[in-house]
Amino acid sequence: MRLIVLASGSSGNCALVESGGRAVLLDAGISARETLRRIAVAGAVDARIEAILLTHEHVDHVRGARVLARRLGIPVMATAGTLQAAVGALADVPEVIAIARRGQFQAAGMRISSFATAHDASESCGYVFESRRGHRAGVATDTGVVTPEIAEALSGCHVLGLESNHDETMLAVGPYPPFLKRRIAGDRGHLSNDAAASALGTLAWKGLSHVFALHLSEQNNTPERARAALARTLCDTAALETIERNEIGGCAL
């Protein structure tokens, strides 16, 4: 099983989750051309992409979905609320498949569980991917808080992608207008380094091998601050990687 983060942050989010040669794209927030280029750079052209799975309708998660779905001839999967909110961005895609915001379904040979995130979107969610061999990779971004539901869903994962959006002090003293600061720091905004660290404290276990800090703000965070915060609560066995906007990162289990 591989998790490859192709893009992360407000300029675009996209990851490839592959197991046994079959893969799904988790969000498609960069252009189709750039997505395919980065898949090649990551050495994953051999993965057969069978679906695009969306977390929510914000443009940094759906920008490339339409062109990619059409070019690859694959369905777009998301909650009914997300599909409805993104209907304009998904015009003429080969197929849309509504999945439950809280439930289990199959795609690309993996068992995927969805869980609700707390975000200012229509029906946002995160996912845990489980391979046939029992490896679990969970990704939660674009959530203002880590709810008990999210913590429960992400427990026992071998790989975690967790939002570490902003440093609370940098956001507070930074250049954003007050309404935007309130939105980001709110319960339906984005997760701070400290909130991510505190969640990681309960999620870390001996089977956790890789943690990716995702959706870092360019204005209100630095990779060093995110890494320092998360490293405080992470067990020694897991590798910690911060993904900057134009970086590709990944791991294989």
Contact positions vs Zn ion (CB under 5 A) = 58, 60, 142
| Residue 61 β-bridge partners | none
Q: How far is the CB of 163 from Zn ion (least distance, A)?
A: 8
- The tokens describing 202, both together, are 């309960």
Q: Pick between residue 142 and residue 241 the one whose CB is nearest to Zn ion.
A: 142
Work out how close the CB of 48 gets to Zn ion at its nearest, in angstroms, rounded to a whole number.
Answer: 27
For Zn ion, the closer of residues 58 and 227 by Cβ is: 58
* Minimum CB–partner distance for residue 112 and Zn ion (Å): 20
Neighbours of 133 (CB within 10 A): 9
Token readout for 90 is 């998904």
Residue with tokens 């507070």: 172
Q: Of 58 and 158, which has the nearer Cβ to Zn ion?
A: 58
What angle (nearest 5°) sits at the alpha carbon of residue 31, between those of residues 28 and 37?
Answer: 95
Q: Virtual CA dihedral for 244, 225, 57, 89, nearest 10 degrees?
A: -30
Q: In the complex, what is the shortest distance from the CB of residue 155 to Zn ion, in angstroms, rounded to a whole number?
A: 24
* Shortest separation between residue 119's beta carbon and Zn ion, angstroms: 6
The residues that bridge with 160 in the sheet, in sequence order, are: 138, 211
Q: Which lies closer to Zn ion via its Cβ, residue 18 or residue 142?
A: 142
Dihedral class, residue 73 (left if φ above 0, else alpha if ψ from -120 to 50, else beta): left
Give the shortest CB-164-to-Zn ion separation in angstroms: 13
Judged by CB, which is closer to Zn ion: 18, or 60? 60
Q: Which is nearer to Zn ion, 70 or 183 (CB)?
A: 183
DSSP string, 156-191: T-SEEEEE--B-HHHHHHSSS-HHHHHHHHSTTS--
